[in-house]
Amino acid sequence: MRPHDESPPPLIGITGRRFRLSLITGSDERYGDRCADSFMADFATRVAAAGGLPVHLSYDTDVPGACAWLSAIVVTGGQDVHPALWGGDTSVVRDVDPRTDPMVHDTARDEYEVALVRAALERRIPVLAVCRGLQVLNVALGGTLIADLPAGPVAHLSAEAAPTDGTADHVVTFEPGSIVAGLFGASARTNSWHHQAVDRCGAGLVVTGRTSDGVVEAVELPGSPVLGVQWHPEWMAGSDPSFAWVVAEAARRLETQHERNCL
């Protein structure tokens, strides 16, 4: 049993995606038209290892209700954000049901995650935004994206399999005094699986990490517990302090709430 004077682990909400069961090899055809919610298990594993209690969020999880209980959120990776949300070229959007192809644009996921991010920021709930999640964070604050990074000296859409600590060319340099500099030092080698990136930052966001070609790899919201990283900390072969950071921020928020309730 947990001692009475020990704080409970903070609840960390983790986003995912939704697809039809027919995509799963060997699934019963009678249920093929039904949907499953999917979450990358490595997020939950790393959050739990850092001392948090992972909570998977479906699109049906009421945003205000979730934010009333959650102590932090993690917005995960996946398909591109719909270009209509950031003024991009909508001609690239295919008329394909995202439930039958989990890599095409999914407006339901976009709408849910943007609403979740905005609600979390309003309530000062800590946010860790990963890869697509960083782009969702930027778009939620009015920012824009680079639709497709040109080939260059740094390989951003890596051919390496997860987990990996990345290739020697993918080194991110961090701004002094930033959250990421406090976690990683002056620079860090990271993995990379993205073809889009931040173009213009949303309101209040600042760039705190870039690769040598200038691509944005980390953003923060000064004065708030908000961190966006373009790499995949859940798929780093070694440890990544991003999870310890978000759980620590969540625990701090939870402790503050408990103290207020005891007044």
CATH architecture of the domain covering 11-262: 3-Layer(aba) Sandwich (3.40)
Closest residue by Cα to residue 11 from 259, 250, 184: 250
Tokens of 64: 């205000």
DSSP 60: T
H-only helix segments in 167-240:
179-184
What is the rounded average pLDDT for all residues in the chain?
96
pTM summary value:
0.96
Burial 134-155 (b: 16+ CB within 10 A, else e): bbbbbbbbebbbbeeeeeeebe
67 is catalytic: no
The predicted pLDDT at position 129 comes to: 99
Q: How far apart, in whole angstroms, are the C-alpha atoms of residue 131 and residue 161?
A: 16
For 72-111, letters b (16+ CB in 10 Å) and e give bbbbbbbbbbbbebbebeeeeeeeeebbeebebbbeebbe
At 200 the pLDDT is 98
**Closest by CA position to 221, among listed 140, 147, 156:** 140
Residue 117: CB atoms within 10 Å: 26
A 10 A CB-CB count for 45 gives 13
User: Which of the following is catalytic: 113, 217, 220, 234?
Assistant: 234
Beta-carbon contacts of 263 under 8 Å, excluding residues fewer than 6 positions away, are none
Distance CA 17, CA 228 (A): 19
For the chain, the residue count is 263
C-alpha triplet 233, 237, 238: angle, nearest 5°: 80
Kindly name the residue from 105, 113, 131, 249 that is annotated as catalytic.
Answer: 131
pLDDT at site 259? 76
Question: For this structure, is 232 an active site residue?
Answer: yes
Catalytic residue among 82, 170, 232, 249: 232
Name the nearest CA neighbour of 123 among 44, 70, 181, 190: 70
The domain spans of the chain are: 11-262
- Active site annotation includes 35: no
| Percentages (nearest 5) of helix, strand, coil residues in the chain | 30, 20, 50
Segments of the chain scoring below 70 in pLDDT:
1-5, 263
